[in-house]
A and B are shown apart, each in its own frame.
Chain A
Amino acid sequence: MPQTALAFDADLLRRYDRPGPRYTSYPTAPQFRADFGEADLRAAAAASNGDPIPRPLSLYVHVPFCHSPCFYCGCNRVITRDQARGDAYVTRLEREIALVAPLFDRDRRAVQLHFGGGTPNFLSAAQLAEVVGAIRGQFRFADAHDCDISIELDPRYCDPRDMPVLAAAGFNRASLGVQDFDPAVQRAVNRVQSVEETRAIVDACRAAGMRSVNIDLIYGLPGQSLEGFGRTLDIVTAIHPDRLAVYSYAHLPQLFKPQKQIDETLLLDGEAKLALLQLAVEKLTAAGYAYIGMDHFALPGDELAIAKSRGGLHRNFMGYTTHADSDLVGLGVSAISHVGNTFSQNPRDLPSWEAAIDAGHLPVFRGMRLDEDDELRADLIQSLMCQGEIRVKDLQDRYAIGFAEYFSQELARLQPLVEDGLVTMSPESIRATPRGQLLLRNIAMCFDRYLDQPVTDARPRFSRAI
């Protein structure tokens, strides 16, 4: 448990609070290349079908629309109130599903389907059910108890009466955005959301039989205070979601335009942010939540917490999961796929995605094929993010390398982190200490080959670590 993470001093904090990727993938999206296209994705899918036991599939559907702009948002989204855009989007999603599904052998089961955004519930419950139906028609799903069908919900635009419709369509997990209940903060980020409407949706999800409810919070938002965020944490722990994510706000207005509307005078410094994180860790721990990794917590009986304690935790673009490595198929604008040893991404703007679908093409606009070094580092970072540990012998065996020679530079880079008590190193294992648990991305950054390379574009690409 990360209580000892609270022992940070200001100097340590300053040194480790630097931009870094969140490692939902390695290599990270900025490394994707324009010369990776449709034919490469087809070849990767064919090769993945040729595995002796082809991996199961995880599906992601991106819904880009939002009714109103939250100023902190760094996601790919389109602000509109025009519901007709939802119809057109669903029609094209169904075409994309029909284009993509034949790439995969029919006996490959889907074990995970996630709707993210944007705001997935910009689409009506009937439209969401239609998309799930189209996917079920083209992919074979694992038995319901083995399959996560999840959706991110904005409670401000949900009707509790829609939850049974979603449950009937197969949704068994919901994730609700909250961020902070403090009214001053809600105004500063243009997201005013009551406790009552949030609780009504949580109750409706549970009444409809959904297995698990997650709530997202953000620390580091403009105008946040220990008192206000403390009240939010008390309310949220009383709602008692099965899972909780506490994300760090990344202020990158050059990269994420909506953030330009944030009053920078209200932003917190690194130490104030850390105090909020400390408070969250304390309150969630006291409320009985177990720390999963990065910014995630879960009740001890939740599958994620059980998987974490058994070493069965995995991580992909959708975050932590209990499902073993699967091939990931992204549908919709900007969605990323991870098939075999490739990454590929759909166009990030709606017109390009629409044009590709209308022309009957797989809408791939960039991607990359991982070489053996990429795969080794991806594997290493995955085990760091999920187990908090790198097992040297496992990697030596799997990749036929001498670990100490192969990673001599990286191990030297790790030395200051060892001296700061974030990592312990032995010939068998590199392990994050309790205080290192909250700085996993800093540890992972030591092994990221691409961070050494000059970035052609002067804009910052990654959020800060804390």
Chain B
Amino acid sequence: MSQVPFPRFNARAMADDGDELQFCSTCAFSHACLSQGMDKAALMDLHVLVEHIGPFHAGDRIFSEGDPFDAIAAVRAGTVKTCVSERDGHEHVLGFHFPGEVIGLNAIDGHRYPCDAVALDTVMLCRFSFPKMSMLAARVPGLQRELFRLLSRDIGRAALLSGDWTADQRVAAFLVGVSRRLAARGFSANRFQLTMARADIANYLRLAPETVSRVLRRMQDTGLLAVDRREVQLLDRAQIDALAAPVLRE
């Protein structure tokens, strides 16, 4: 059986509940304990910090800009959009977060969340109290490294789109990025649903919605990919990768 397209239920890729010695399979921090061979005591300590919350439904606010910061959260299921609203009400999309990814990292610096987090579909989260987590990180080097790794990845991703790229390059880089992130969580790499609306994709890529569709339609006409409603199938991965390469600095 081939790998399951996101966000269809996938017994291997979706979160199980874990236990005191085993994290949820999607957990952002499972990497830390698996690779670092975290000891049982540390694992249990980390588990105590975890609180499963949700479900949130499409459009629900998970946190809002200015809310006091006290926790980061790992996405267990669904997709979360982070964004800021300008004074004129115009929204600015900062990113999308898939299962296994962490939201709230950009609040670590201050005492308040610097953006909104909105559920795009049915979202389940693992909430980690940040003060307690920092204390634990001081004792468990693997956890600290993991936090730094997540932080730097978050910053790097945001910088990608600031360059002077064509619409085709931006769209290709977006698709490759989504593909890699989902594949890393055990979902199909070349077939997935875009759970965010095209207006959100366009906003994130600094393109007009019509342009996103026009680029995708052209890619579809030339056999690079196929789109059916929200589902995208990458058919010519080499060409899409080549288009995305300059943006992704490869």
Q: Does B47 contact A (CB under 8 A)?
A: no
Please state if B8 and A52 are interface contacts (CB–CB under 8 Å): no
**A400: B residues at CB distance < 8 A:** 4-5, 8
A residues with a Cβ closer than 8 A to B are: 47, 49-55, 105, 107, 340, 397-398, 400
Q: Shortest distance in angstroms between A106's beta carbon and chain B's nearest beta carbon?
A: 8
B229 on the interface (CB 8 Å rule)? yes
Cα A398 to Cα B226 in complex, Å, equals 12
Is the CB–CB distance between B209 and A105 below 8 Å? yes
Residue pair B198, A50 in contact (C-beta under 8 Å): yes
**Distance of A71 from chain B, by nearest CB (Å):** 43
Pick the contact of A53 from B8, B197, B216 — CB < 8 Å?
A: B216
In the complex, what residues of B have CB within 8 A of residue A107's CB? Answer: 209-210, 213
Q: Which of B42-72 contact A (CB under 8 A)?
A: none
Q: Flag whether B111 is at the interface (Cβ < 8 A).
A: no
Contact A51 B8 (CB under 8 A): no
Contact with A along B184-196 (1 / 0, CB 8 A): 0000000000101
**Which residues in chain B, 212-229, are within 8 Å of chain A measured between CB atoms?**
212-213, 216-217, 220, 227-229
Name the one of B2, B220, B229 contacting A51, with C-beta atoms under 8 angstroms.
Answer: B229
Q: Provided the pairs A107-B210, A107-B213 are in contact, do residues A50 and B199 lie with their beta carbons within 8 angstroms? A: yes
- Are the C-beta atoms of A52 and B232 separated by less than 8 Å? yes
Q: Do A52 and B210 touch across chains, with their CB atoms under 8 A apart?
A: no
Known: A107-B213, A400-B8. A52 touches B227 (CB 8 A): yes
* Given contact pairs A49-B197, A50-B196, A50-B230, a sample of 20 additional A-B residue pairs in the complex whose CB atoms are under 8 Å apart: A49-B199, A50-B197, A50-B198, A51-B198, A51-B229, A51-B230, A52-B212, A52-B213, A52-B216, A52-B227, A53-B213, A53-B216, A54-B198, A55-B229, A105-B209, A107-B209, A107-B210, A398-B228, A400-B4, A400-B5
Is the beta-carbon distance between B5 and A53 smaller than 8 angstroms? no
Give the chain A neighbours of B228 by CB distance below 8 A: 398
Complexed CA–CA distance, A105 and B197 (Å) = 12
Task: Report the bound CA distance from A344 to B229 in whole Å.
Answer: 19
Q: Nearest-CB distance from B201 to chain A (Å)?
A: 7
B153 to chain A minimum Cβ distance, whole angstroms, is: 25
Residues of B within 8 A of A54 (CB): 198, 213
In the bound complex, residues from chain B placing their C-beta under 8 Å from that of A340 are: 229
Q: Which label, helix, strand, loop or mixed, suits the secondary structure of the A interface?
A: loop
Chain B residues near A398: list those with CB within 8 A. 228
CB distance from A229 to the nearest CB of B (A): 43
Give the nearest-CB partner of B59 in chain A. Answer: A43
Partner of B194 from the list A49, A52, A105 (CB cut-off 8 Å) is: A52
A47, B120: Cα distance in complex, Å: 11
Give 9 closest A-B pairs by Cβ, nearest first.
Answer: A50-B197, A107-B210, A53-B213, A53-B227, A53-B216, A51-B229, A52-B216, A52-B198, A52-B227
Using a CB–CB cutoff of 8 Å, the interface residues on chain B facing chain A are 2, 4-5, 8, 194, 196-201, 209-210, 212-213, 216-217, 220, 227-230, 232
For B229, list chain A residues within 8 Å (CB). Answer: 51, 55, 340
Specify the chain B residue showing the minimal Cβ separation from A50.
B197
Determine how close the nearest CB of chain B comes to the CB of A101; give it in whole angstroms: 17
A111 CB to nearest B CB, Å: 14
B194 neighbours in A (Cβ, 8 Å): 52
Complex: chain B residue closest to A43, CB-CB = B58
CA distance A50 to B200 in the complex (A): 8
A375 nearest in chain B by CB position:
B229
Inter-chain CA distance A305–B217, complex, in Å, is 26
User: Closest CB-CB distance, B206 to chain A, in whole Å?
Assistant: 17
Q: How far is the CA of A53 from the CA of B213 in the complex (A)?
A: 5
Nearest chain A CB to B84 CB, angstrom units: 20
Assembled-state Cα–Cα distance A49/B216 (Å): 15
What chain A residues lie within 8 Å of B196 (beta carbons)? 50
> Min CB distance, A308 to chain B, in Å?
21
Of A55, A340, A400, which is in contact with the most chain B CB atoms at under 10 Å from its CB?
A400
Asked whether, in the complex, the Cβ of B217 is within 8 Å of the Cβ of A53, the reply is yes
**Which B residues are in CB contact (< 8 Å) with A47?**
197
A-B contact pairs, 13 of them (CB 8 A): A47-B197, A49-B198, A51-B198, A51-B229, A52-B198, A52-B213, A52-B227, A53-B216, A53-B217, A54-B198, A105-B209, A400-B5, A400-B8
Q: Which residue of A lies closest to B230 (CB)?
A: A51
Shortest C-beta distance, A265 to chain B (Å), equals 52
B residues near A50, Cβ cutoff 8 Å? 196-200, 230
CA–CA, A363 and B198, complex, Å: 28
Chain A nearest CB, measured from B198 CB (Å): 5
CB distance from A403 to the nearest CB of B (A): 13
Alpha-carbon gap, A47 to B209, bound state (A): 14
Q: In the assembled complex, how far is the CB of residue B156 from the closest CB belonging to chain A, in whole angstroms?
A: 25
Of the listed residues B4, B216, B228, the one surrounded by the most CB atoms of chain A closer than 10 A to its CB is B228
Chain A residues within an 8 Å CB radius of B232: 52
Q: How far is the CB of B139 from chain A (nearest CB, A)?
A: 43
In the assembly, what is the distance between CA of A340 and CA of B197, in Å? 13
Q: Would A53 and B210 be within 8 Å (CB), given that A400-B4, A400-B5, A400-B8 are in contact? A: no
Residues of B within 8 A of A55 (CB): 229
Distance between Cα atoms of A400 and B11 in the complex (Å) = 12
In the bound complex, do residue B5 and residue A52 qualify as a contact, i.e. CB atoms below 8 Å apart? no
Task: Provide the bound-state CA to CA distance between A49 and B197, in Å.
Answer: 8
Complex Cα distance, B199 from A49, in Å, reads 8
Q: How distant is A27 from chain B, measured CB to nearest CB, in Å?
A: 18
Q: How far is the CB of A325 from chain B (nearest CB, A)?
A: 8
Asked if B4 and A52 make an inter-chain contact with CB atoms under 8 angstroms apart, the answer reads no
**CA of A400 to CA of B1, assembled, Å:** 9
Output the least CB separation between B6 and chain A (Å): 11
Q: Which residues of B contact A52 (CB under 8 A)?
A: 194, 198, 201, 212-213, 216, 227, 230, 232
By a CB distance below 8 angstroms, the chain B residues around A53 are 198, 213, 216-217, 220, 227
**Of all chain A residues, which has the CB nearest B211?**
A107
CB distance from A355 to the nearest CB of B (A): 31
